[in-house]
C-alpha cells in the first residue's frame, strides 16, 4: 500500500451494509493523516449517487474520518454559516487512493446557531430490518451516536470554534501551491 500524504487527492466510496455502493465523491484533498484520523477538504466536487445521478457540491467542505469512531464529520461552509453533516458510519479504510466506509443511515445535522437534530431514524430502522443489521452493529451505532452528540455538546474535535476554518485555510494553501 502506498503511503498517503498531505496534498494527495483521494476519491471517496460510501457503501451500505449489504456491500452496495451508496455514493462516491470525486476528489478530496488530504490535509492531515495521523493515528487517529484523516482530514480532507474539497470545493464543488462531483458526487455520484447509487442510481447514477451526479451533482457538484455547492461549496467548500472539510471532512473528518476516524480510525476508531463509527462516524465521520463534514463541516460545510454555506451562506448562513458553518453547518456540520455527520454520518454514522464505520471507521474509514484506505484502499489505494480511495477512502472507504459503510454508512449506517443515521445523520446528525448541526446548525450555525449550535442547535442539532438527528435525521433518518426511519431509514435506519428500515435498513436494519431489510439488511439484517446484527445486534452488535445496532448497539455500536446507537452508542456512537451518543458519543457524537456528546462531542457536539462539549464543542470538541471538529466542533471546536475555528477548527474547520483552520483546516480550510490549509486546503486553500495546498490548492494555491499546486496550481
Average pLDDT of the residues in 98-104: 98
Catalytic residue among 23, 67, 109, 139: 23
Q: Are strands 9-15 and 98-110 parallel, antiparallel or unpaired?
A: parallel
pLDDT in tens, 79-94: 999 999 999 999 999 9
Q: CA–CA separation, 80 vs 43, rounded Å?
A: 17
Give the model confidence (pLDDT) of 10-57 as tens digits.
999 999 999 999 999 999 999 999 999 999 999 999 999 999 999 999
121 is catalytic: no
Q: Give the other-Cβ count within 10 Å of 61's Cβ.
A: 25
| Cell numbers found for residue 66 | 476516524
Q: Give the confidence band of 179 by pLDDT, cuts at 50, 70, 90.
A: confident
Q: Residue 42 and residue 27: Cα distance in Å, rounded?
A: 7
Measured between alpha carbons, how far is 41 from 99 in angstroms, rounded to an integer? 13
Read off the pLDDT of residues 105-161 as tens digits, 9 standing for 90 and up. 999 999 999 999 999 999 999 999 999 999 999 999 999 999 999 999 999 999 999
Pairwise CA distance, residues 72 & 66, whole Å = 7
Q: Which triple of cell numbers denotes residue 161?
A: 470554534
Q: How far apart are CA 61 and CA 70, in angstroms?
A: 20
The confidence score (pLDDT) of residue 1 equals 45
Share of residues in the chain with pLDDT > 90 (%): 96
As a whole number, the mean pLDDT across the chain is 96
pLDDT of residue 2: 59
Across the range 169-179, mean pLDDT stands at 94
Q: Is residue 5's pLDDT more than 50?
A: yes
* DSSP-assigned beta bridge partners for residue 73: 64, 86
Amino acid at each position: 500500500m502506498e503511503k498517503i500524504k498531505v496534498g494527495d487527492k483521494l476519491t471517496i466510496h460510501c457503501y451500505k451494509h449489504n456491500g452496495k455502493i451508496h455514493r462516491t465523491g470525486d476528489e478530496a484533498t488530504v490535509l492531515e493523516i495521523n493515528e487517529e484520523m484523516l482530514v480532507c477538504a474539497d470545493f464543488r466536487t462531483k458526487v455520484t449517487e447509487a442510481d447514477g445521478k451526479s451533482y457538484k457540491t455547492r461549496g467548500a467542505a472539510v471532512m473528518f474520518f476516524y480510525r476508531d469512531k463509527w462516524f465521520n464529520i463534514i463541516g460545510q461552509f454555506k451562506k448562513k454559516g458553518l453547518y456540520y453533516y455527520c454520518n454514522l458510519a464505520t471507521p474509514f479504510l484506505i484502499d489505494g487512493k480511495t477512502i472507504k466506509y459503510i454508512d449506517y443511515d443515521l445523520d446528525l445535522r448541526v446548525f450555525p446557531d449550535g442547535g442539532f437534530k438527528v435525521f433518518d431514524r426511519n431509514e435506519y430502522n428500515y435498513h436494519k430490518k431489510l439488511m439484517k443489521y446484527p445486534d452488535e452493529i445496532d448497539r455500536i451505532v446507537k452508542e456512537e451516536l451518543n458519543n457524537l452528540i456528546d462531542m457536539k455538546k462539549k464543542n470538541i474535535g471538529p466542533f471546536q470554534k475555528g477548527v474547520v476554518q483552520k483546516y480550510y485555510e490549509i486546503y486553500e494553501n495546498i490548492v494555491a501551491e499546486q496550481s
